[in-house]
Structure 1
Amino acid sequence: QALWKVAQTRSKPETEAFIHKLRVYTISDQDDAGPWMRNTFPGLFYIVSPGHEEGQGGSYHYATWVGISGDRFHGRFEGPDFTLVDNPWLDLHIRKDHGPLGAMYPRTTYLMEGDTPSFFWALRNGLNEPEHPDWGGWGGRYELYTAPPKRYYHEPETRPIWTNTMDEVKGVDGKWHTSNHATIWRWREGYQHDFAARLDWSHQPNFKDANHPPIVTINGDRSRDAVLVTAGPGMPVALDARESTDPDGNEISFHWYPYREAGSFPLTIYYRNLKWEGANTSTLKLNAPATSTPETIHFILEVKDAGQPSLTTYRRVILKVDPTLRD
């Protein structure tokens, strides 16, 4: 209704300027209002798994957001640890002895927190970047393209939108799984432990009586922004996180790894000639891989503390390999 009113009462340039300010993440289409917005306002930044569920449309089975907890309903997939989103875990870490808000948390019958990926997308935790859905984060990863028609769409998509894409992730079963659901469930321990900690923050009167996430510093940068590094092919790159700390004094552990799908290098480079040292230490070293065109590699650093529940802080490093640079 607001978009319709703006379009009816403002000039075209004014409407376009207004639309340009908006960022929309709608999970799936509850009704045909979503397709109307996308097709009527082609400049609207829009993240969605298109389609409807009403009338047995069936779109939720294919939607990215189901990865948050839909292992046994809607999504029906394997790979993540289902116990983290099941009622026994929720009883222990959310509902019982975790304050009045936790006590009100409903029992899960189908799946929990289906809309929460839209909130995750805006949560600056060192991993998510709202302006770059293709970078991936707790809210999932999405790419910009015109989605091909499906039987469960209200109407065809007429222009590029941010929508479903896939990550390849090793599950708790030790097997590799490739799906759009995996772009969310790969972070499940992180977001569920964060949920539990926030319940503690809500009712513990003293800071020391709850756990808090580590503070991560890379090469002197302790912000939540991505760290940008540029190097030429073959040039050494060093990433130093030794200044990272934990506000509760807990021990912290480090884990670096490339987020293959978020970068621009062909995926084969990660299996063939990309080598790095110090994956489980505070310092990562590598030589930038060979390339004849400018490309990027995204490295994720996870710093996890030993508190209860264990909490993880993320930092993203974007390595741009520029072939015009040489030693």
Structure 2
Amino acid sequence: MKTFYLFISFCLACSITTFAQINQKNRVIVLTDIEADPDDTQSLVRLLLYSNQIDIKGIVATTSCWLQNRIAPESIERVIRAYGKVQPNLLKHEAGFPKPETLTALIKKGLPEYGMKGVGDGKNSEGSDWIIKVLEEKDDRPLWISVWGGVNTLAQSLEQIRKTKSKKEAQRLISKLRVYTISDQDDSGIWIRNNFPDLFYIVSPGDFYASATWTGINSYINGIDNSVISNNWIAQNIQQDHGPLGSEYPDVAWGVEGDTPAFLSLIPNGLNEPEHPEWGAWGGRYELYKPDFSKTKKGGSIVTIAPETRPIWTNAVDNYTPYIPKEYGRSVKRDTITFKDNKVTLWRWRDDFQNDFAARMDWCTQTYEEANHPPIPELTHSDLLTVSSGEAFSLDAFKSTDPDGDNLSYLWFHYPEESSYKEKIDLGAENVHIVNLRAPEVEKKETVHFILKLSDKGSPALSRYKRVIVTVLPN
């Protein structure tokens, strides 16, 4: 009888997960300078573990400032072969993991030329043609270009669209593109932004080793526990005793998984809203503005940087005080240290997405009963609320469940940087399923973003989220 109920619970969890994926799956084409640094291979291992939740439409081998004259599609194929050996076991945990043959067919080649040398007449490649082909498909979803190296393959696609399509058709195709590039790793990035001013583009220009948001994934932060990016953690949770895919995960040479932020925000977890970079997510938080070039740090890359000619989605700052476990009484408390910079917009979620990665690595070899699976947050009300100034209201996640039957922990908090209302809001005991609040007194319409972080007590502990946007109207 117990086995029957476990089976029913598993089927319900799968149906809920599958339904969410159908409605939230994001299309992505990856441009990777794999073999320039081991971190591209590391990021590819992680990406494949989410290939049932992200609609991978292409993986293009490209150049970069660190790999200027060759490409390495065979390295992509090697990782996919390892994925193929664990794909049947992954399907025991969630539906939708594609066959390795499907992914192998998506490997494409960019030109083995650096930057703008690979853009212009006669510079089409398998990769640039493929981007256009996917863009032209009858699919209304945006197409994300996740750039781990140089971006000249996309530049050539855009150049071809501009030359061969009507102005109206070119605008239609380009409006479907969303670009997240790990800084500028060739000279075609600034060319794209200057020549296609309406293109949605996330980038940290300038000294991408020192000041970029994406470096929050592997930066050592004084005052917090950094163990989830340690070599020991990686060996125990990813590389060793986790099957063929974990065996392909290389040791850190420069920085662990520097390319992963280019797709982290595409994972459907209840927090990530890719169309709203200003809301904050696993891949960081970004705001749309034209950076002050006089304040842009120069150095750290051989790519020459130049003033931005239009607004881009780029570095934003969070003022963040972590919650930490408390041994007695209320189970969490605010830490005594507060962090304020752009990198914190990403690393504040680092424990969560690293634990999620570790759990999925477990799926490569473990049975459903042995492994942990993420909890399922569910509200008793809409995630869009409207209240009047001073009105009492509640936030309640009473219906939340866990597919493994694990005990659940709740944490509600106000995210002021996402909200128009910036003042502190006291939630009382924020670690219960329901919090009772009173709307702030306002003189104009304000929005307040509240985040629920729902975590289980499995191993590793996994978290999912709900975002509630409360509109407060003046009396």
TM-score by length of 2: 0.61
The offset of 1:78, in angstroms, is 2.6
* Paired position in structure 2 for 1:119: 263
2:392 maps to 1:252: no
User: For residues 322 and 119 of structure 1, what CA distance do their matches in structure 2 show?
Assistant: 36
* CA distances 1:202-232 after superposition (whole Å, capped 9, x unpaired): 222x2112100100001256xxxxx111111
The offset of 1:90, in angstroms, is 1.0
The offset of 1:92, in angstroms, is 1.5
The offset of 1:243, in angstroms, is 0.8
2:423 maps to 1:263: no
The one-letter amino acid paired with 2:255 is L
2:194 maps to 1:39: yes
3-state secondary structure, aligned to 2:461? coil
Match of 2:378 among 210, 217, 232: 217
The offset of 1:79, in angstroms, is 4.2
* Paired position in structure 1 for 2:359: 197
User: For residues 11 and 155 of structure 1, what CA distance do their matches in structure 2 show?
Assistant: 30
Q: Is the 8 A contact 1:86 1:108 kept in 2?
A: no
The one-letter amino acid paired with 1:249 is G
The offset of 1:278, in angstroms, is 3.6
Q: Is the 8 A contact 2:413 2:427 kept in 1?
A: no
The one-letter amino acid paired with 1:60 is Y
User: For residues 29 and 117 of structure 1, what CA distance do their matches in structure 2 show?
Assistant: 14
Match of 1:130 among 266, 274, 284: 274
The one-letter amino acid paired with 2:418 is A
User: For residues 174 and 213 of structure 2, what CA distance do their matches in structure 1 show?
Assistant: 25
* Paired position in structure 2 for 1:139: 283
Q: Is the 8 A contact 1:276 1:287 kept in 2?
A: no
Match of 2:345 among 183, 200, 207: 183
* Paired position in structure 1 for 2:253: 109
* Paired position in structure 2 for 1:224: none
Match of 1:66 among 196, 211, 215: 215
User: For residues 440 and 454 of structure 2, what CA distance do their matches in structure 1 show?
Assistant: 25
| Structure 1: gaps spanning 5 or more residues | 52-57, 72-76, 222-226
3-state secondary structure, aligned to 2:255? coil
The one-letter amino acid paired with 1:211 is N
3-state secondary structure, aligned to 2:265? helix
User: For residues 384 and 243 of structure 2, what CA distance do their matches in structure 1 show?
Assistant: 41
Q: Is the 8 A contact 1:80 1:188 kept in 2?
A: no
* CA distances 1:60-85 after superposition (whole Å, capped 9, x unpaired): 211000000122xxxxx434422110
Q: What number of residue pairs does the alignment pair up?
A: 302
* Paired position in structure 2 for 1:294: 445
Q: Is the 8 A contact 1:297 1:319 kept in 2?
A: yes
User: For residues 237 and 112 of structure 1, what CA distance do their matches in structure 2 show?
Assistant: 43
* CA distances 1:261-284 after superposition (whole Å, capped 9, x unpaired): 11111x3x21xxx33234110001
3-state secondary structure, aligned to 2:455? strand
3-state secondary structure, aligned to 2:369? helix
* Paired position in structure 2 for 1:28: 183
User: Relative to 1, partners in 2 of residues 1:80 and 1:181: Cα closer, same or farther, differing over 3 Å?
Assistant: farther
The offset of 1:151, in angstroms, is 5.1
| Structure 2: gaps spanning 5 or more residues | 1-155, 299-303, 325-334
Q: Is the 8 A contact 1:212 1:311 kept in 2?
A: yes
3-state secondary structure, aligned to 2:209? helix
* CA distances 1:293-318 after superposition (whole Å, capped 9, x unpaired): 11111111111101000001111111
The one-letter amino acid paired with 2:385 is V
The one-letter amino acid paired with 1:66 is T
User: For residues 174 and 120 of structure 1, what CA distance do their matches in structure 2 show?
Assistant: 29
Percent identity at matched positions? 48
- Greater C-alpha radius of gyration: 2
* Paired position in structure 1 for 2:36: none
Q: Is the 8 A contact 2:392 2:436 kept in 1?
A: yes
TM-score by length of 1: 0.88
* CA distances 1:4-23 after superposition (whole Å, capped 9, x unpaired): 00000112222111111111
